[in-house]
Each structure stands twice: as C-alpha cells, then as structure tokens.
C-alpha cells in the first residue's frame, strides 16, 4: 500500500519507517526541513533503538521524507496524521492537527480517486469526527464517506522501545466513519498477523488511547502516594509493600508448572520522582479538561496530576533534610530523560529537580547517557554543568540524585564505594538495593 505520514516525530517517523519495513511504500512529511534532510541521509533526528538500521534498510527503496505534503498525498492512498497535540494550559491544543488536516484537504481537492485520512495523534474524543472531518470537507470541497474516508488509529508505542512496540503491537485499534475506511486501514496492518484488532468508531478509538494512558498514570501516582505515606511512617519501605501487593494473582500469574509471571505493569510501579514525557502528563490533563467541558469533572485524574507534580519536590526535600542546606551544595543529577533508552526530556521530573535545586543555590552537575543535547536545550536558562560520563558525574559532589532508571546507574554504589567523600545517594527511582551503599536514601522509605 502507498501511505503518507504527516509529522516525523517519535510516532510519525517510527510508524513510517516500520510500515516501510513491513512492505508498504511510505512517504514521511514534515514542515521541519532539517529533520527531513537528516532522515533522508539515514540519520534519525531522535534516539530510538533499531531506528537507524530500519531507515538505512528502507530509504531509497520504500521510504522517503519530504516537506511537500501535497505531492506526498497525491502519491499515496492513505495519509496518517501524526503531528503533536500539546496541552495549552487549559485544554488540548489542536493547532497542528487542524493545520495538517487543512493542508491534506487542499491536496485532496484535485486528487482523483478515493483516499483515507487517519488521525494517529492522540486527540480527545470527538476530534476526528467533529474537527478533522469538517476541515477536510471544507478544504477539499469533497464529501467524507463518498470521496474519502476518515479514521482514527491511536498509537501505543513507548519511547525507548518504540520500534519494538510498533513491530510487535499488543493491539491494533481501527476507528473509522464507515466499513470502507476501516477495511482500508486494516490492509495497512495486514502484515501484523495474530494481533488482536478492535474495529470501532472514531470516538471509541480516541477514548481507548486516553483511558490506556490514564490507567498507567493513575497507578503510578497511586504507588507514589503509598510511597509518601511509607516514608512518613518509618520502618516501612514502599518497595517491600509494593512487592507484596504485586504478588497478588491479578498482578502475578501462577502458571500450571508453578512458574510465576509478573505483569509488565509492575515494572512501572516502583515509587519514584513521578512520570514525565510527552504523553502521560499532557494526556491526563487534556482528558480531565475534556471531562470538565462535558460536565463530568474528573476528580481522580486531577489528583493523579497533583500527586505527580509534587513528586520532584519530595526529592528536593530529601536532599534538604539530609544536607541541611541546599545553597552551595554540590549535587549531581543522574538521568535527564523522562525514562531510560530515550533522549526525550519533555516534562522530565529530572528537569524540575534541577531547576528547583539551582533556584535554591545548589551547584548542579548533570549526566545522561544519551539526553545531554536535548536537556542542554531545555535547560538553556539554568546554570548546570553537563558532564560526559558517569565517573565525572560522581566526582567532587555532596549528593547524587538518581532520576532515570538507566541500567548503567546500577554501578553507582560500587563506584561511590571507593569515593573518599561518600556523598549522599538519593534514589529517586528505587533502582538500587538500599543496602548497597551506606549513605543511601530512597523515595518511599524513611
């Protein structure tokens, strides 16, 4: 199938590259000419395991990038919209979706034949039918259902393992205004055999995506709230508590042969300094704002956001309590990305921690295996020294904060053991064994 993808961010580029890899002819479109040039040169503008190999394998064969949206739409049968949908402080900001829909509509005006336009961006229920569809009709002068189809296909990939997630999806949700749209969309996913497929309307598809993200965010904030109480109790460690909770059969299946298989969700549920990234924070807020606008205030989700926003301050408080004062304290923050295996620092709790520490007069060093450039750009106005390796990050400091679960950081206790200063180690992700280092302090324990 010939497919165009509008937006070459984490979702658009990974989708486009992977769809090419399974045999479709794919054109990726972006307004950012530098991104397009990098993609065409085989250099992914984002850090994702396996993406570079897929680009190299498919470029000039079945994959190309361009800034020419019109040509891309004309050369294809189906167009995915994968542009950003930020939260503007009050509600979801649909300006990029509207713009993309308008340009696609204009391109469809003189394109002969049937075309399908599919929203892949995360959008609040009703957006595809009530915002995108009318824009397409108006800009093209054509009729949805007769001249073109309009669908919604949410993306569930996780940054860091995006290629793996796209290639081995756990579910495929196909929304559409009619059977013809859904059938066309289904043929795009035909190579992904054996994966459960949900065929539904656009509004349900949109809601499935939000409910999925809200489930995860809620469980994370729940674990953090329990952790905060554990820390106040004394002699209770949230890691032991959650281990006990997660052994329940609804989290850990016991197989016929007695083996136990823990649900993957439990790996997200260590207490920590909060969730971040470009999805969970904005999606929970957008769903909540949407609920309010529909006369259904979402008290639980509002609390989920509040708890999450306060988690980084728990780390700062821990440091202040142990170091006595932050002004002049030399503190190293390990991990800047919002999760391991990515360079994405959007809404990363590490950045909030750094900003707060610097505001309190601390002298901050920062290290991340891959997110140095993105973090430097995000913290341009903040006085931080970025270092290139873990050893440099651990030298001459009063405290070390672990803010991202990078595997490399498991070495920290051993590296610190030989340090003459024995700095305080604050484990903001509960990655390490508390007994592994004598000046260990972890979130969720007294």
Strand stretches in 2-111, DSSP E: 2-6, 25-29, 63-66, 78-81
Q: What angle do CA 304, 14, 150 make, to 5 degrees?
A: 80
Q: Restricting to residues 68-87, which ones interact with ligand NAD according to CB under 6 A?
A: 69, 82-85
CB of 107 to ligand NAD, least distance (A): 11
User: Which one among 10, 338, 367, 409 touches ligand NAD, defined by CB under 6 A?
Assistant: 10
Q: Which two tokens stand for residue 342?
A: 């990515």
User: Measured from the CB atom, is 103 or 341 closer to ligand NAD?
Assistant: 103
Nearest to 24, CA basis, from 56, 61, 71: 61
CB of 83 closer than 8 Å to CB of 6: yes
User: Measured from the CB atom, is 11 or 394 closer to ligand NAD?
Assistant: 11
Neighbour order of strands in the sheet with 78-81: 63-66, 25-29, 2-6, 78-81, 115-119, 148-152, 172-176, 197-200
Q: Which helix (H) or strand (E) holds 174?
A: strand 172-176
The 10 Å Cβ neighbour count of residue 435 is 8
Rounded CA separation 151/79 (Å)? 10
CB of 286 to ligand NAD, least distance (A): 9
Question: Is residue 160 close enough to count as binding ligand NAD by CB under 6 A?
Answer: no
User: Measured from the CB atom, is 39 or 329 closer to ligand NAD?
Assistant: 39
CB of 95 to ligand NAD, least distance (A): 8
Write the binding mask 273 to 312 for ligand NAD: x where contact by CB under 6 A, - elsewhere: -----xx---------------------------------
Applying CB under 6 A, which part among 155-163, 321-329, 354-362, 379-387 lies near ligand NAD? 155-163
Nearest to 72, CA basis, from 22, 20, 108, 112: 108
The CA R_g of the chain, rounded to the nearest whole Å, is: 23
Q: Which two tokens stand for residue 178?
A: 């009619």
Q: Indicate if 279 belongs to the active site.
A: yes
Catalytic one of 18, 28, 273, 279? 279
Applying CB under 6 A, which part among 48-56, 93-101, 220-228, 405-413 lies near ligand NAD? 93-101
User: Which one among 78, 100, 150, 152 touches ligand NAD, defined by CB under 6 A?
Assistant: 100
Catalytic residue numbers, as ranges: 279
Chain positions contacting ligand NAD, by CB under 6 A: 6-12, 29-32, 35, 69, 82-85, 96, 99-100, 103, 121-122, 155, 157, 159, 278-279
């Amino acid at each position: 199938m010939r497919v165009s993808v509008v937006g070459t961010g984490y979702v658009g580029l990974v989708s486009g590259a992977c769809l090419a890899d399974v045999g479709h002819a794919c054109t990726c479109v972006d307004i950012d000419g530098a991104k397009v040039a990098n993609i065409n040169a085989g250099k992914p503008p984002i850090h994702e395991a396996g993406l570079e190999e897929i680009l190299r394998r498919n470029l000039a064969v079945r994959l190309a990038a361009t800034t020419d949206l019109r040509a891309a739409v004309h050369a294809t049968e189906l167009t995915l919209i994968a542009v950003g949908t930020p939260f503007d402080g009050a509600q979801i900001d649909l300006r990029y979706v509207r713009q993309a829909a308008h340009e696609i509509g204009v391109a469809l005006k003189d394109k002969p034949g049937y075309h399908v336009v599919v929203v892949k961006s995360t959008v609040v229920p009703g957006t595809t039918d009530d915002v995108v569809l009318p824009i397409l009709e108006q800009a093209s002068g054509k009729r949805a259902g007769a001249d073109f189809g309009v669908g919604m296909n949410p993306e569930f990939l996780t940054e860091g393992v995006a290629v793996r997630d796209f290639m081995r999806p756990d579910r495929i949700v196909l929304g559409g205004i009619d059977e013809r749209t859904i059938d066309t969309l289904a043929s795009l996913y035909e190579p992904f055999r054996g994966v459960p497929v949900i065929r539904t309307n656009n509004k349900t598809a949109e809601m499935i995506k939000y409910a999925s993200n809200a489930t995860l965010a809620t469980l994370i904030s729940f674990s953090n709230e329990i952790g905060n109480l554990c820390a106040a109790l004394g002699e209770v460690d949230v890691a032991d508590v959650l281990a006990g909770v997660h052994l329940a059969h609804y989290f850990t299946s016991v197989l016929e042969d007695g083996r136990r298989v823990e649900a993957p969700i439990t790996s997200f549920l260590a207490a920590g300094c909060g969730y971040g990234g470009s999805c969970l924070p904005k999606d929970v807020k957008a769903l909540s704002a949407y609920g309010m606008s529909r006369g259904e205030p979402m008290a639980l989700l509002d609390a989920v956001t509040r708890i999450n926003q306060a988690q980084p301050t728990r780390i700062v408080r821990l440091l202040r309590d142990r170091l006595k004062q932050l002004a002049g304290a030399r503190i190293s923050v390990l991990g800047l990305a919002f999760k391991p295996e990515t360079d994405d620092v959007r809404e990363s709790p590490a950045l909030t921690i750094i900003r707060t520490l610097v505001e309190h007069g601390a002298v901050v060093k920062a290290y991340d295996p891959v997110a140095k450039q993105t973090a430097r750009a995000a913290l341009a106005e903040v006085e931080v020294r970025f270092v290139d390796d873990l050893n440099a990050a651990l030298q001459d400091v009063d405290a070390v904060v672990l803010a991202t679960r990078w595997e490399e950081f498991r070495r920290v206790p051993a590296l610190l053991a030989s340090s003459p200063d024995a700095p305080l180690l604050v484990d903001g992700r509960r990655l390490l064994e508390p007994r592994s280092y004598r000046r260990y302090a972890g979130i969720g324990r007294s």
